[in-house]
Amino acid sequence: MEAYLLDFGNLLLRWLHVIAAIAWVGESIYFVMLDNGLRPPKSEECKKKGVFGEMWAVHGGGFYHNQKYATSPEQLPEDLHWSFWKSYTTWLSGFGLFTLLYLTKPSFYLVNHNSPWEWAANMTGWQANIAALAFLLLGWIVYNELCKRISPNMERDGILSVAVAVMMVVVAYLSTHIFSGRAAFLLTGAVMATAMSANVFFWIIPGQRRMVKALKAGETPNPIDGKRGKQRSVHNTYFTLPVVLLMLSNHYSFTYSHELSWVIMTLFIFAGALIRQYFVLMHAGHIRPGYPIAGVALILVAIWVGAPKSAPAPAATAPAETQSGTTAAGENAAATSVTAVTTAQVLDVMEARCVQCHAASPSQPGFAAAPLGVILDTEAHLLLQAENVKKVTANKYMPLGNITGMTDEERALVAAWNAQ
């Protein structure tokens, strides 16, 4: 019952997280579209009022007239719309999910027992938790310092963009070498998501509050607040597509279980940013098909990098000669035949090492159902998952943390069976 309730809590929390993310991302993309789609006002009256740009739109059977003021408007209503709770709810619910799924079972989900770095492979559960939290915090600190030091007045944003791109390559590399594959993809996405929400909390909303306070006091707002808010909002919009993909990646082991998973992750991050750039420019009236083409090209490269390698056919044993130098037919047939691995042998391995979690009714504490719906307790189910089983056992991603003690010989047995 406890596992069932935890799973139900996971479902509800994930539902909240997805709803909040849709609302936040949708509103963010809308305002970027609105800001880039503004056109100079045609009315002299609007120009006199300080209207910087306007957009007419039709939606839901009605017409909308949006206006942006470069300076203070004539009146500032009390019911001013603010955009921040969607951001905070998304981050808090996401962190809640991370706590429920990963921080409560760090040895199972966080520790990378196959890390080339001995200290990472031998981390205890509480050490992995501290490392994961420090990873998120340091990611925000480094990103924020880059923004403050490289482009404090928003005059060197091009150089800043390159610096942030390099930072994300480093984050992808470190995450996949410190943490287990699925956690690495999630944490890299969480670094960007944390930066996005922190941008709202520490810079965008405080700057807007200072601007509103100045307007109500009859003072001229500091233009740096508006520029900085715009800068961080633009960063957020480029983070959006990569973050969504990385959060979805935990359902697809071919991404995070590959030996070059950090390369695959980096390619997806850059592809998402390039595709987003196309839409940003399109809303400003500039059609640049080169950006989505480049984004798709990077995705194709990721597909090529992550493609499973064809396993070599088992080598035949050389025929054994008889004392007379000839080979008897029976001896030749026995010598040239390769011992076949039966499905029953692999099922025995699954029974010993995998079905504790991957069964219709898991016996492993904390699991009310098989993870990702992968069941391995019957021949029919095993055959459906043959390629995935071979891949995740060969790269030692599964069993998670090798909690059941699968041996190298058993992994080789699974690989030989799959090659047949």
Whether 205 is covered by a domain: the verdict is yes
pLDDT tens profile 399-410? 877 778 888 888
- Give yes or no: residues 253 and 402 share one domain: no
- Give yes or no: residues 276 and 201 share one domain: yes
- Give yes or no: residues 302 and 235 share one domain: yes
What pLDDT score does 297 carry? Answer: 97
pLDDT grade for 2, boundaries at 50, 70 and 90: low
- Give yes or no: residues 302 and 362 share one domain: no
The label of the residue with tokens 């990611």 reads 139
Mean pLDDT of 325-331: 41
The predicted model scores a pTM of 0.80
Whether 46 is covered by a domain: the verdict is no
Whether residue 397 is predicted with pLDDT greater than 80 in this model: the reply is no
183 backbone φψ class: left, alpha, beta (φ>0; ψ -120 to 50): alpha
Whether 319 is covered by a domain: the verdict is no
Q: Which residues contact 57 (CB under 8 A, 6 or more apart)?
A: 63, 64, 66
Least confident of 46-50, 135-139, 281-285: 46-50
Whether 133 is covered by a domain: the verdict is yes
- Give yes or no: residues 108 and 148 share one domain: yes
Whether 130 is covered by a domain: the verdict is yes
- Give yes or no: residues 338 and 389 share one domain: yes
What pLDDT score does 323 carry? Answer: 45
From CA 325, how far away is CA 223, in angstroms rounded?
Answer: 94
Whether residue 337 is predicted with pLDDT greater than 80 in this model: the reply is no
Comparison of pLDDT for 376 and 87, the residue scoring more = 87
- Give yes or no: residues 410 and 283 share one domain: no
- Give yes or no: residues 300 and 334 share one domain: no
Q: Which two tokens stand for residue 108?
A: 């199972």
pLDDT tens profile 176-222? 999 998 899 999 999 999 999 999 999 999 999 998 888 888 888 88
Our count of domains for the chain comes to 2
pLDDT tens profile 225-238? 988 998 999 999 99
Range of the domain at 386: 330-419
pLDDT grade for 136, boundaries at 50, 70 and 90: very high
